[in-house]
Amino acid sequence: MKNNITKLLNQNSKVQQGDKEKIEKQHASGKLSARERIDLLLDDDSFIEVDKFSGNGGMEEKLGSDEVSADSIVGGYGTVDGRLVFVYAQDFTVAGGSVGEKHAEKIVNIQKMALKMGAPIISLMDSKGGKVEEGIDTISGYGKILHQNTISSGVIPQISIVVGPCAGGISFSTALSDFTFMVDKTSSMFINGPQVIKSQTNEDISQEELGGAMVNNSVSGVAHFLDYSEEECINRIRELLSFLPSNNLENAPSYDSVDNINRVEDFLNQVLPENIYGPYDMKEIVKLIADEGYFFEIQPYYAENIITGYIRLNGRTIGVVANQPSIEEGLLSINAVNKAARFIRNCDAFNIPLLNLVDVAGFVPTKSEEHGGIIRHGAKMIYGYSEATVPKITLVIRKAYGSAYLSMCSKELGADQVFAWPGSEISVLDPEAAANIIFKDEIANSADPILTRKEKIEEYKALEANPYNAAKKGYIDDIILPSITRPRLISAFDMLETKRETRPGKKHGNLPV
């Protein structure tokens, strides 16, 4: 027995220590090892490894040796702030973290365990790609991972962290995840790398330019977060988890708030510029509403004309979708509606109520947007809101015109409560455009068309484009003082806490992708 125990301890040590020389090389390049990353992510001493002795299918296995070596994947379970999570980390110090049959089997096993237990799963991606020497088995491994990503979607939170290269088929796993994190100057992600691009197009491009962290955060939109160190990135993941439930049958954790639920913010009464098209930062309003002024933004570098993220109101997680008037006047674009639609559906999947802050005049009016399919893409946002059964509250801050207002969750798309600030304009069109159409003949036949046009614009605003007219017709539930926005929203979300709403039974809808 003593020999057996000694052997077990030696094997454990061999697997867990890895190749010290390669780990030192990893450190020299500014990267942590796979096990260091897991230890940093999870609560102290909570990690339990699974499939620890599952080898890499190398020569030792073929010769029948019972010796084991660390595989290119480390995975298991542990806790974050006492809550169960599953995690796997690709180990670049072993065969460059390459994905093969055994590597994929270990990942899929962890994915299935997370699904059964109803717990979040976090993947740390650091791999040069697939094991070419394993041929079609590698592609099969990719397929099994991606299939399980899809099965788990909307059931448990899936979070990907790219902490090195992420190339080829495995990169689809990040897009199938709910959230993807990247580290500046460390992470890269692409299907075809620089060498493939060079061979096909003769274009020289660096790994960073092709698929670096900022590129995937601001241009492609594949990633949601950019951090400047692995430690910063992993700490942010722990914070993200605090806003999410463990699965789709639970609610997000609720925390005691020290902030006054009846807090009045007089600054909100004067935050808007006099000019209805004047720019301002919507994030200021979001923070003044939120508990302790804190806003956890999602995708801050992508489609900045719309804002998505989480706040807490009276300790409860609330998803926020808001137009950003300081960027492209807050107009809706293809990238903006895609960003918003995915966030809306994620909130609905995980029982997170939605707050929609509206200041939008329309969709970006360009040929490229129309030819790019803004109708099809915009429909995703409409679909997302209409499909969502979580509590939905919409607040018209300033402008709410036409189909863009509908797309931001008007009452017709299922908003449970719709509020408006005084002075807001709710209309089928920009009042100037509407007046030009309705009063076209009067303006044209007037002795002073310019003066008449101004008068008719004001007449249209007084008769139609104002919150009182919308409230009279039942489209707005209340017109509120900006200063009391926070307590009114908290009251409304408290009232909606027991909301139950169902949809017709079906296999699934046909999202306009």
Residues 131-190 pLDDT 10s: 888 888 888 999 999 999 999 999 999 999 999 999 888 999 999 999 999 999 999 999
Question: Is residue 117 in a domain?
Answer: yes
Question: Is residue 180 in a domain?
Answer: yes
Instruction: Region of 231 please: left (phi>0), alpha (psi -120 to 50) or beta.
Output: alpha
Question: Is residue 431 in a domain?
Answer: yes
Structure tokens at 142: 């990719």
Could you give the CA distance from residue 119 to residue 244 in angstroms, rounded to a whole number?
11
Is pLDDT larger for residue 463 or for residue 322?
322
Residue 66 has pLDDT above 70, yes or no: no
**pLDDT tier for residue 67 given thresholds of 50, 70 and 90:** very low
What mean pLDDT do residues 64-78 have? 71
- Let me know whether 303 and 202 are in one domain: no
Question: Is residue 334 in a domain?
Answer: yes
- Let me know whether 459 and 471 are in one domain: no
pLDDT at 444: 79
Could you give the CA distance from residue 377 to residue 375 in angstroms, rounded to a whole number?
6
What mean pLDDT do residues 500-513 have? 92
CATH number, residue 472? 3.90.226.10
Overall domain count for the chain? 3
pLDDT at 10: 60
- Let me know whether 319 and 203 are in one domain: no
Mean pLDDT across the chain: 91
- Let me know whether 438 and 379 are in one domain: no
What mean pLDDT do residues 248-277 have? 95
Could you give the CA distance from residue 487 to residue 485 in angstroms, rounded to a whole number?
6
Give the contacts of 136 (CB within 8 A, at least 6 positions apart): none
Residue where one domain finishes, among candidates 242, 258, 274: 242
Which residue range(s) make up the domain with 452? 426-465
**pLDDT tier for residue 65 given thresholds of 50, 70 and 90:** very low
pLDDT at 94: 86
Q: Could you give the residue ranges of the DSSP H alpha helices within 304-333?
A: none
- Let me know whether 16 and 105 are in one domain: yes
- Let me know whether 190 and 207 are in one domain: yes
- Let me know whether 47 and 129 are in one domain: yes
- Let me know whether 19 and 9 are in one domain: yes
**pLDDT tier for residue 8 given thresholds of 50, 70 and 90:** low
Question: Is residue 513 in a domain?
Answer: no
Structure tokens at 131: 């094991």
- Let me know whether 145 and 219 are in one domain: yes
> How confident is the model over 77-136, as pLDDT tens digits?
999 999 999 999 999 888 888 888 888 999 999 999 999 999 999 999 998 878 888 888
> How confident is the model over 424-461, as pLDDT tens digits?
999 988 888 888 788 887 887 888 878 888 878 887 88
What mean pLDDT do residues 319-334 have? 97
pLDDT at 58: 45
- Let me know whether 187 and 308 are in one domain: no
Question: Is residue 250 in a domain?
Answer: no
SS3 label, residue 170: helix
Is pLDDT larger for residue 6 or for residue 239?
239
Question: Is residue 511 in a domain?
Answer: no
pLDDT at 185: 92
Could you give the CA distance from residue 259 to residue 395 in angstroms, rounded to a whole number?
21
Structure tokens at 1: 């027995």
Is pLDDT larger for residue 55 or for residue 423?
423
What mean pLDDT do residues 38-45 have? 96
**pLDDT tier for residue 60 given thresholds of 50, 70 and 90:** very low
82-86, 205-209, 236-240, 264-268: lowest mean pLDDT where?
205-209
- How many CB atoms sit inside 10 A of residue 251's CB? 14
Residue where one domain finishes, among candidates 174, 207, 242: 242
pLDDT at 64: 43
Question: Is residue 252 in a domain?
Answer: no
pLDDT at 14: 59
- Let me know whether 315 and 375 are in one domain: yes
Could you give the CA distance from residue 42 to residue 85 in angstroms, rounded to a whole number?
8
Handedness of CA 315, 321, 327, 330 (dihedral sign): negative
**Which amino acid, residue 361?**
A
Q: Could you give the residue ranges of the DSSP H alpha helices within 153-258?
A: 172-176, 194-201, 207-211, 213-218, 230-242
- Let me know whether 228 and 356 are in one domain: no
pLDDT at 63: 37
**pLDDT tier for residue 15 given thresholds of 50, 70 and 90:** low
